[in-house]
Structure 1
């Protein structure tokens, strides 16, 4: 392979490279100021018959479709001799070349002006690339290695950061199609900090912080010191670092207010895009994304659902397991920042409060299971719909749903089995993650059964809380840590109007949630509230004042307008369902030594004890 690569590198985008098997790309940025990149792809040893080349419709870390082909134009194909080839465009992102020789060269222009983890963006300051949004590919050649060369001689201060293997002369290597598509790239005048991590087996690897931001080197170094603490707590959970390919892991951090914002995990790197002026002064804003995405280097990138293996780039990828893949990662993302001392215990409790409220009060959780929520990702995960959906009534994010499930399982394992969720994650890592054996939901149940030595518990937990819609007893579970779950506003009237739009003296409803008094009264999106309990609804504060003046069970008349027709209905106030988690000390109760120990073992650093 070294001899083959050497031969390829000797010919910078020349057709003598076609003697090899690698699919080779060259990308340049002569019109970056207008957000364009020029891309050439050489495909050697093309089999006889119809050659299909396409853009991806999905991306690692995303589950819905994304029409990357819409930003491709000037698409052309050539023989090795330079002769133009006939192209038949059979779909918006699919190009077929029915007649060709042994080697084919493709060229096209790509527009990119969206800086996040999913798309591509080019300007005078950098080239930010998610591979599926950037590079077309020949269908049916997934096993072939990829070589990509970056040309930016006119931008002397740029340099490349990527998990792809450097081969010299601004050329980088991927062993196959799947690895290539999972390798984001940042080319910029960035600042960097790095540190080494040592595994239990003595293996040393390097973690890099790549910061394309308006920060000093000192600020970047200080932030890296914070990330070191975070990484230590992640290692304490797993007690084993992944084997990062080529010995490196990269945080590709792009920070600017006009960015779209995002965090996207990859095998040996993560693309983190933030919408703040810089890192310094906003460190806390960024940490949650770093922690979440880094946890993915174990959970999802190697501990991987069978439904996502291999990843299909031609359509959306539906999965039953996102409640664990994303949800458990969400749970740990914040928890490990508290353990690292980068967030307070109150920060974690506030996050738990959001999880519990969502899972106990949202119609999506009441009526659908975590598995069903996971499946809806093909529509919800940054998917685009111009028509109104009923998502608010049928879907709770698998991030939140899964995080609440993780919280319940962690507290249950601690209180009933003297185990922790850390133990469960390590068991999954040993069985499926480290050997990289894709798992199924029954595999997850089996591992819980083996860990607890209680098959009936594992079966009941999955039947009730994973396949089913039953809810854990969070109040009982949280009390083990001296945390009280209670009504935040007991006895307070509640209508469930949600967010109200006020303009031109009119108060208009958005979609109402199933189960709320507003929904039961027949009120829905677009209704204009004219009056409530006899008071003219000139703004939202009038509605709030009327609500506060009543108690649960009171009935009021509401006059409203629907499609120009004046109507009326009667609304019966309910008690405000919002919950809060507070420490038992703040309620006037007694924090027992057992509660204190439970809380400390859960929320405090695990680095020294493991």
Structure 2
């Protein structure tokens, strides 16, 4: 009895300590028609000294900085008696309160009219909130719990969907700042479909499809059936589900043509924003984002690079591992839809085709490693540059670069070790993901060495293809599955002008890429094409017609304007370097039983019959 009483008293004291430290928010929408939200934050038990309050400059799932503070205004602070406090704004997103009592209340207006995975958007139909874009926070109090209440009495049909823990009186809880910032929230008259999944330990969890779209319930239910197949294939790769906090996982899906579009993973949910009129009629096209983001609930959310721990809300995290965190996820996102029967094998082959072309032909992949591509994320991940960059020549997306690396490793493991990339992902999950031990690139190499029982292979693969810029022999690897890698347009001439823009009848070059005839001829962005081979150019079709009328090796005289001055260049055509992947049976070749078996084990369902 004494022990019980002592425990009860301890519990009461813990609750009191919790209440003293809990940072609470209220959000209301009195001017939602004009995309505004009113937000209040109360910080209790404020330490002596200057209180610093700020908006985030980054967001979980994003790797570049984003200036969320630009949409905050009318920010004011008050003490417990309601007296307004003096605020010094020391940066665009930082506010300092030098003198205050033990409790401070901060009010501000937030404008939001950008519906994607990164920002916030408010209108008469919903409140779409990425937390870092929405909520200010006190600096230095990251471990304090958060409690938020949404007030929307005037919107009787709205409901809240979020991975935050529901509490009494319509409030929602997060144990600390990191979890709070990782919890997107949608408030709308949404439709939902849910189903249960059983983990290997027998515990049942619930997956929810939350959809704010112009679709009927039957469409949502049918779409959920497709997602069930997808989820089963993801489970087959990893061998178990993550333990979702509070037993739930949420797909927060927002569908409307004027949306910005996006997909953003979070620990127990994902924000998926799509730009179609509705789901019905577009089901297949919309699945890719779901598959990619759901794979992240293992890869990134729990199997996590050390460079993302903890997530920095004042600046972007620099990391070396996005080729695996995002690239391998990109590879599986498409592959698992094929295994689930939601995409055809031809769809998968088409995707592989794009990956191989990118990794073998793009200047960024030719001259920079996957690790270097990952580091460029701080500039590339939805970051906007006003000035022109040389990105086309120095950067290949870590999504495609990593996915092409995953493709090569998968095929090599299957051909050389009778293993697969599935085995590698499961090994990483057991070593780092399930116990949530953040990994480094050397850890990834060590796991590959252990799995293959061949440290030399692992060291060679990482030295050449992760730290280095060498490329795998994709033709040799793909033929194991009866897939032929060949020139897409043999004998066809190629000039490499890239995208040509038209303005007031002028043909204006975009950035030219290293290695192309146009680049080697000295042609560059904003050059205005005048003539090719003596023919005056009236439209882009004329450029194509002239190139098509010649063969590789032909030299063409090009006249163009550079800063208003007419100049001349000699351009030597080459053979179109584009590649294509074709099933061997479509080339007239023989698909052997071994090739068929290899292909089936790779591309068909791995779900064991229940």
The verdict on a shared fold, with TM-score over 0.5 as the criterion, is yes
2:447 is aligned to 447
Deviations 1:216-272 (A, max 9, x none): 111100000000000000000001100000000000000001100000000000000
Q: Distance in 2 between matches of 1:68 and 1:347?
A: 38
1:570 is aligned to 570
1:149 is aligned to 149
1:228 is aligned to 228
- Residue 504 of structure 1 deviates from its aligned partner by 2.9
- Residue 21 of structure 1 deviates from its aligned partner by 1.1
2:401 is aligned to 401
Q: How does 1:34-183 map to 2 (within 5 A)?
A: 34-183=34-183
Conserved 8 A contact 1:17-1:44: no
Aligned length: 604
Conserved 8 A contact 1:4-1:20: no
Q: Distance in 1 between matches of 2:132 and 2:411?
A: 40
Conserved 8 A contact 1:305-1:321: yes
2:3 is aligned to none
Deviations 1:517-539 (A, max 9, x none): 00000000111111001111111
2:244 is aligned to 244
1:197 aligned counterpart, secondary structure: strand
1:20 aligned counterpart, secondary structure: helix
Deviations 1:11-38 (A, max 9, x none): xxxxx99962100000000100000000
2:482 is aligned to 482
- In the alignment, is residue 459 of structure 1 matched against residue 459 of structure 2? yes
2:84 aligned counterpart, secondary structure: coil
Moved more, 285-294 or 19-28: 19-28
Q: Distance in 2 between matches of 1:132 and 1:201?
A: 35
Deviations 1:346-370 (A, max 9, x none): 0000000000000000000000000
Q: Distance in 2 between matches of 1:4 and 1:181?
A: 30
- Residue 2 of structure 1 deviates from its aligned partner by 11
1:502 is aligned to 502
Conserved 8 A contact 2:18-2:145: no
Q: How does 1:284-295 map to 2 (within 5 A)?
A: 284-295=284-295
2:349 is aligned to 349
1:480 aligned counterpart, secondary structure: helix
Alpha-carbon distance change, 4 to 362 in structure 1, aligned in 2, over 3 angstroms: farther
Alpha-carbon distance change, 110 to 3 in structure 1, aligned in 2, over 3 angstroms: farther
Give the RMSD, CA atoms, in angstroms.
Answer: 1.7
Conserved 8 A contact 1:76-1:107: yes
Alpha-carbon distance change, 58 to 3 in structure 1, aligned in 2, over 3 angstroms: farther
Alpha-carbon distance change, 535 to 2 in structure 1, aligned in 2, over 3 angstroms: farther
Q: Distance in 2 between matches of 1:6 and 1:264?
A: 39
2:430 aligned counterpart, secondary structure: helix
Alpha-carbon distance change, 510 to 2 in structure 1, aligned in 2, over 3 angstroms: farther
1:12 is aligned to none
Conserved 8 A contact 2:119-2:130: yes
1:259 is aligned to 259
Q: Distance in 2 between matches of 1:29 and 1:308?
A: 34
- Residue 6 of structure 1 deviates from its aligned partner by 10
Deviations 1:113-168 (A, max 9, x none): 00000000001000000000000000000110000000000100000000000002
1:296 is aligned to 296
Alpha-carbon distance change, 19 to 308 in structure 1, aligned in 2, over 3 angstroms: closer
**TM-score where L is the length of structure 1:** 0.97
Conserved 8 A contact 1:18-1:43: no
Alpha-carbon distance change, 123 to 303 in structure 1, aligned in 2, over 3 angstroms: same
- Residue 310 of structure 1 deviates from its aligned partner by 0.5
Deviations 1:301-335 (A, max 9, x none): 00000000100000011110000000000000000
Deviations 1:31-78 (A, max 9, x none): 000000000000011000011000000000000000000000000000
Q: Distance in 2 between matches of 1:6 and 1:518?
A: 74
Conserved 8 A contact 2:43-2:104: yes
Deviations 1:550-606 (A, max 9, x none): 111111100111111000010000110000000000110000000000000000000
- Residue 3 of structure 1 deviates from its aligned partner by 10
Q: Distance in 1 between matches of 2:19 and 2:532?
A: 78
Conserved 8 A contact 2:481-2:595: yes
- Residue 503 of structure 1 deviates from its aligned partner by 3.2
Alpha-carbon distance change, 609 to 471 in structure 1, aligned in 2, over 3 angstroms: farther
Conserved 8 A contact 2:328-2:406: yes
2:361 is aligned to 361
- Residue 184 of structure 1 deviates from its aligned partner by 0.1
1:430 is aligned to 430
Q: Distance in 2 between matches of 1:119 and 1:136?
A: 14
Deviations 1:420-442 (A, max 9, x none): 00000000000000000000000
Q: Distance in 1 between matches of 2:180 and 2:19?
A: 21
- Residue 549 of structure 1 deviates from its aligned partner by 1.1
Conserved 8 A contact 1:364-1:396: yes
Conserved 8 A contact 1:18-1:45: no
- Structure 2 stretches lacking a partner, 5+ long: 1-6
